[in-house]
Every structure is written in structure tokens, then in C-alpha cells.
Copies of this chain bind each other. A is one copy, B any other.
């Protein structure tokens, strides 16, 4: 993805690298005093031997442009270059460090980066593999879409009316009675959480969630200054909520159907208990329901389906089912909430892609979407079974798991607390990328979110073998 030397250039590879690094420094992309990537990283980026990188760096050192610091790496040189430029640049690092939003966890940043690389086995990725995406059908559907000029201008604050109308019909099958006015289109479920954080909660609010939680891996509430509070579904829950609720504004976040990362679902009784507890205490609920269409068996109802009080903010999306690249999701909520979130969306990105909305409209209206879901569930189920066989064969003595009920994930629990950052990095060295449990619950060193939706079963087999080898090696 990044710059590489060109084989066709009139310059040697090593000269091209020197020129490129110079231009990075010259144009201010690599600031004075900043650290260069390691030789290993540069060699990987350029797709060359380390010795070629070494050669280029030596040249640059001789020119006084960079300098090695004992045991700490190579830096853009301070003095010479500074003199040459006769200026200092904006101190971006200070800007970044003092700004509002939290950075992604280091492990997440690495995952985001390595997921873009070609030859990595992705054991934890929460996205459909290219061969599960209906790419050809999507391409075909592009030809069937007729655009209206009105539709490709700035969007109405809540998004396409046609799409919201179709969604209000579609949601009836999920037991949810709503109207287009109470639906808002968002750019995926994560944006819905971001808008809720900005538009409905004061700083320091409590966000209740079970552990492990998807929210710990994305920080939409944490970055907005909210406090995450872990709760468990037990006899003490009501008391806990009651005590804390008195102190601060609160909201309850949950994924009752096919939880991320555990893959587990609540029973109807459990849903009702939480719903009534929250209603009693006037704590709004966020029901994140992006996986339910991927249940292998009949779906349990949505919590929203027994909500006649406007207690539940319901979130859906096509990212897990049709294509994440569409960036289309929706929120169902009472009018004041929808109007508020729509108002903020108009201030942050002026609405979601009209083209993506047209595509989803077409897929819902034509029935293509539901037909695709049937096929997709079958394929995911097949993959889940095969991976479960692999686990049975190779992991039953060192780990436990529950049979998948649908969705993407198996929440693999190792008997020993071995899933730490060291293991994560060691596997990365073997080009195997895992989603360790600690990104969903910082104190968890037992779990891995194993995903059967992205890598092929063959790749998963190789990846799991690497996991076993690495664990043995570390013992």
C-alpha cells in the first residue's frame, strides 16, 4: 500500500530509497527529531533486503540528514537539517497528545495496519471474506440503479426516505414496529455510537456494559469522556444500577444477539429482565443488533420488539451481512433522539453516501438482500463446523469453547492465561494476526476471538497450527 521502489526506474533501488527518505524529510512528513521506522519495517515496506535499507541509511547519515542514537534507533537529525531549513515545524506530536480523542489501543492500531497486508493470516477479523461477499451481484445491481438528481444532492438529515420506509417494513419481521420518522441512516453502527456519545450523554456519564465488550476495542464513549462500568447479569445487577444511576446520567449498552466477541445470545427471559430493570430506573438501552441475521437457527426477538416506551435505541447495519464498504447502518429511536442525532450528523459529515443508500434500497426492495442472507448463513454454518472440527482435534486439551450459534466468532478460552501481547506479537512475526481477548477486556489473558468468516478454512488450519507451535515454543 505504501511507497515502494520501482523496478523500471532509471535510479537504483538504493538511490530511490535515499531520494524518497529525503523527500519525506524535506516536505515535512518526517519532522526534525522524529524517529525513523526500523530497518525491518522499512525493508518490509520497500520489499527489499535489510542490507539495501542499511546502505541507503548510511548515505543519509553521511549527508548529516539522519543520526543513530545509541540503542534507540535512527532519528531525523536536529542541527544540520534544522540549519538548512532555518525553521522549526509545527509540533504535531504535542498537538496530538493534548487533543481530545483517545488513540486506538496499540494492539488495535497494529491490527488495523496489518489487516491491509497481503500475506497475513487473519484469525480474528470481524468481516466477511472476499468470497463471502456478493461482489458480482453488487456490481450487477449497480447497473439496475437509476439515479435521481434529488437523491444525489445533500441528504435529508435522517437519510433517504425510501430507504427508511423499506427499513420500517423490514424491521417488522424482527418484531419492531416503527415508522420512517423514527429511523435515521448512519454510516455504520459505530457512527451511531459516536453520535449517541456526542448527542445524548454528558461527560462522565456511566456507560454500563458486560465484559468482554466490543466497546473496549473502539472507544466511542471513552473518547467522549464517558466512564465504562462493567456489570454482570446476576441478582445484584438491579442494586448496582440503582446505586450508580443515582450518581450520574447512565446508559446501558448491549449486544443481546450473537454478542461481539463471545458469539453468545441472551435468552428472552434475560432480555426482559434487563429491559424491565432499565425501564424501572429510566436508564436508556442501546441494543446493538448487527449480527442477528446471521443466526443459524430461528432468531430470538430483539429487545426493541417489546419496547413500547421508547426506552431502547436500536442499531442495525448491513456491514456484517452485505458489505462493510457500503458504510450503511440505522438507528431506531424516539423522535427527540432521532432529531438530535440527525442534527449532529449534519454537523459532522452531512449525511451518509447517497450512492450506498441507493444500493441498500435496491437490495431491500428487490428481495436480493434476504435471498443473499439465506445463502450466507449456510456458508457461515459450514465454515463454523469445519473450524469446530479443527478445534476438537487440536485444542480440546488446552482450551474450551461453545458451539457457534451463528455470526462470525468462536470465543476460544485457553485453560492457561497465555493470551498476552507477547503471544500476539510472536504470532505477528509468523504472519498470523489474532484478536486477543484483552482488547475486549483488559484483564482477560485467556481468550482469543476466533473468526471463521474471513480466512479460509485452510488458512485457519495453518494459523491455528502456528498458534499451537508458538504456545509450545513459549512454554
Point out residues on A near B: beta carbons under 8 Å.
1-3, 23-24, 26-31, 34, 85, 87-96, 98-104, 109, 112-113, 115-116, 127-128, 130-131, 133, 135, 138-139, 142-143, 145-157, 161, 177-182, 187-188, 190-191, 194, 197-203, 218-220, 223-225, 249, 279, 282-284, 307-311, 319, 323-327, 334-337, 340, 343-344, 346-356, 359
Contact = CB atoms under 8 A, between A and B. Distances in A.
A355 B138 CA distance: 10
Nearest to A225: B100
A397 to B, nearest CB: 35
B201 A156 contact: no
Contacts of A88: 282
Contacts of A93: 336
B347 A218 contact: yes
A7 B121 CA distance: 58
B90 A311 contact: yes
Q: Is the interface of A mostly helix, strand, loop or mixed?
A: loop
Given A88-B282, A200-B95, A308-B26, A353 B336 contact: no
Nearest to A280: B87
A29 B309 contact: no
Contacts of A359: 355
29 contacts: A27-B308, A28-B308, A31-B334, A88-B282, A89-B311, A89-B334, A90-B282, A91-B282, A92-B310, A92-B337, A92-B340, A95-B284, A96-B200, A96-B337, A98-B202, A100-B199, A100-B202, A100-B225, A101-B199, A130-B149, A139-B147, A143-B143, A154-B324, A155-B324, A187-B349, A187-B350, A191-B349, A194-B348, A220-B347
B201 A95 contact: yes
A190 to B, nearest CB: 6
Contact of A96 (B190, B340, B350): B340
Contacts of A23: 179
Given A95-B201, A139-B145, A334 B151 contact: no
Given A96-B340, A152-B324, A181-B3, A353 B353 contact: yes
Given A334-B29, A334-B92, A349 B194 contact: yes
A149 B135 contact: yes
A148 B161 contact: no
Nearest to A45: B181
Nearest to A95: B200
A148 B135 contact: yes
A415 B96 CA distance: 46
A238 to B, nearest CB: 16
A325 B92 contact: no
Max chain B C-beta neighbours (<10 A), residue from A26, A152, A325, A349: A325
A107 to B, nearest CB: 13
A325 B1 contact: no
B327 A353 contact: yes
Nearest to A281: B90
B347 A30 contact: no
A353 B356 contact: yes
B100 A127 contact: no
A182 B29 contact: yes
Given A26-B308, A188-B350, A154 B135 contact: no
A152 B139 CA distance: 11
A466 B150 CA distance: 25
